[in-house]
Structure 1
């Protein structure tokens, strides 16, 4: 008769080789079955790209294994991730009732004892006032799928103070299953992509940022979850030299104002929606800058857009004697008192560029194309980053600059010295 017990979990790390699949294993003996088996556990160790990150995550996994075994997990019955879904710690009833704290907007302040689904909903309400309309819709979508995923994973009774990275990864994987089931039902052949995984992770991370700010959690569990390598679908690919030649030659004839807007985007790096909200009053003529307030930007931040001298002269000529409160690109994309909607701009682009010119390129791509042109002209990476309004060190700029890798390799070729 075998004796009940288990060996100490050990990490198999292949001398730090991250091309291998790392795992933790141990031997477990079940006296009911009179069997001894070897158990392997990964729990997302291999999501991380560096040995240091994997070692840190493995230590957390080993602790989870030990705690779960002590709490009654039998590896002969089920895998650890299944057991974790159905064996969450119970929340003790409060001994005394304390007055509920609220934000200045009257939203209840979440605490470490707040259950995960309720905490995310409160976090969204707290963050909602900071988001623009489009971003708000995206975060609503994130919440709409996160809550069912939490319940499907058996974590609806999990308090914030017990939430770990492994729980968030399980939620994200469950969201993927829910979304894929919807895609399959629609029968359009759509699949859950790494891009979608990263997008929903950003939503959940934003909720936890708000929770961290209000001290409901000590740290954001999303911070150490690595993004998956995204798939480039070419939606905003840069125009080729030939496509650019056709556009510069033909669009000024077909729709000169649309060409003016494309040129403006290329030079300033402003988003199309921001350009549509740009008024002459936002121009700092003395310092050659556009003061883009949070009301016009994608996010609720104030930023300054540098404008080169030739573009500033173009803006002055376009304004003439018109009032300061006129839109630079108003109705019909002409200067005037009424703005043009984003949908109207999209329809014009589809009609004149995609259909009449036969160019399958997006209007938004000219922001990145202009960024690459600035880099080619000698503007530093940080300079482009500042012009876009991205925080220093942010990875957001990289997505726009398609030639950056090629440019850096050439820089090495041109600068390296011999021994």
Structure 2
């Protein structure tokens, strides 16, 4: 009975194809590649393995052929890029095996599937919009950044379908025939479609994202030149970010503390953190060292990702202490749950991580962080609508940065004043401040902070 059970187990692990071939389920190394946060895993060789059986090759490969796929995964120097490459190679290999009847022993694809296989290959004859979609799909980059570019493609397609060049619809023209002139026409048409919402900043964002895709197309040899070369950025009127007034900050502070406590707690921690919203939402309990008063965040900028250690400032320490206590309680309650990350729970299996700010901005086990949009939504509902405030949530970071600089300037002025007093032979700074420093009042007026009591360091 045990032998039959083992045979059945092996049978269901095999995938059989109509061409008579079969292959084992894919194995991944490391097995926790989706959830690992340890930088030591970057030292391991990431790969995909499976065994392929071809009945016509049983004399040469009686036990099947072991297939190993690395595909450049290990050239990626950060976990995010490796995960994206790993997932991309998994998807490609499964598509080859399941849909294209690929045979890794003979290195062939069934003839009846050959036409289908060409659908995912980019060459100089691939239509413009299809080429953009395929190139973006193959591009290894931050998931949020890729999503942002993907959301622009429908607007690009709409514009490209409105334009004809030499009798052809631009959207359907071969990618190799797309020139700088046509891209500029497409960008201008997007502007016409968007009307007053089209700004110099919007133009520049589309320009940058299209350049990113065309660089990928160049590397794939679908076209020789980048049509974005020569299309210059536009200069727009830079708007000064609106920040909260002293009165508004007091209203917001009191209102959130009384009515939306966990959001108030998050806002104050954010104010003292020096982070972006997305970075703070990605903090897990493993990333916080309350004893040494620091936490670390994953900073994703341009094409690179890095861990950045941040200090837990005195003004936020008690709030950090409070939220970590909630997280510790959750850990204790779930220490025997096998679905949670072994890096969080002793003896647990790879799985969900304990994020500090999750649903309701409380600690919770999840497969990933909540979206940044949830912070904007809360601010719009709790602050903008309920209090009539127009400044956005991120303005808190601008306010804090200005106050930090003003604080350093005041320190420098005090040092400079003492130095001037000693130079003049005075035992105190009174004469310098009241008589000799004729610009003292104007200087102090310029750097006067808007508020010291609200969303500012506590005593």
Point out the more displaced range, 257-266 or 361-370.
361-370
1:95-149 CA deviation, whole Å, 9 max, x = no partner? xxxxxxxx9564845345655344323212213x63435x444323322232343
| Maintained 8 Å contact 2:282/2:297 | no
Structure 1 CA distance for aligned equivalents of residues 381 and 134 of structure 2? 43
Q: 1:213 aligns with which of 203, 215, 219?
A: 219
1:162-193 CA deviation, whole Å, 9 max, x = no partner? 5443332122112223444xxxxxxxxx5433
Q: Which residue of 2 aligns with 1:352?
A: 382
- TM-score w.r.t. length of structure 2: 0.47
Q: 1:282 to 1:215 in 2, by over 3 A?
A: farther
Q: 1:305 to 1:359 in 2, by over 3 A?
A: farther
Q: 1:232 to 1:316 in 2, by over 3 A?
A: same
Question: Secondary structure in 1 aligned to 2:191?
Answer: helix
1:189-245 CA deviation, whole Å, 9 max, x = no partner? x543333322322331221132233344455433542222345677x6322333224
Q: Which residue of 1 aligns with 2:143?
A: 132
Q: 1:192 to 1:358 in 2, by over 3 A?
A: closer
Question: Cα distance, 1:274 vs. partner?
Answer: 3.8
Q: 1:145 to 1:302 in 2, by over 3 A?
A: same
1:6-47 CA deviation, whole Å, 9 max, x = no partner? xxxxxxxxxxxxxxxxxxxxxxxxxxxxxxxxxxxxxxxxxx
- 2:155 counterpart of 1:145: yes
Q: Which residue of 2 aligns with 1:262?
A: 267
RMSD: 4.1
Q: Which residue of 1 aligns with 2:183?
A: 168
Q: 1:251 aligns with which of 253, 256, 273?
A: 256
| Maintained 8 Å contact 1:116/1:159 | yes
Write the mapping of 1:2-81 to structure 2, written as runs, cut at 5 A: none
- 2:244 counterpart of 1:239: yes
Structure 2 CA distance for aligned equivalents of residues 362 and 276 of structure 1? 18
Aligned residues: 266
| Maintained 8 Å contact 1:153/1:174 | no
Question: Secondary structure in 2 aligned to 1:278?
Answer: coil
Q: 1:140 to 1:348 in 2, by over 3 A?
A: closer
| Maintained 8 Å contact 2:269/2:319 | no
Write the mapping of 1:323-362 to structure 2, written as runs, cut at 5 A: 323=331, 325-337=353-365, 345-362=375-392
* Unmatched tracts of structure 2, length 5 or more: 1-87, 93-118, 332-343, 345-352, 410-442, 447-459
Q: Which residue of 2 aligns with 1:398?
A: none
- TM-score w.r.t. length of structure 1: 0.51
- Greater gyration radius: 2
| Maintained 8 Å contact 1:153/1:171 | no
Question: Secondary structure in 1 aligned to 2:152?
Answer: helix
| Maintained 8 Å contact 1:172/1:197 | yes
Q: Larger % of strand: which?
A: 2
Q: 1:365 to 1:214 in 2, by over 3 A?
A: farther
| Maintained 8 Å contact 1:238/1:368 | yes
Question: Secondary structure in 2 aligned to 1:369?
Answer: helix
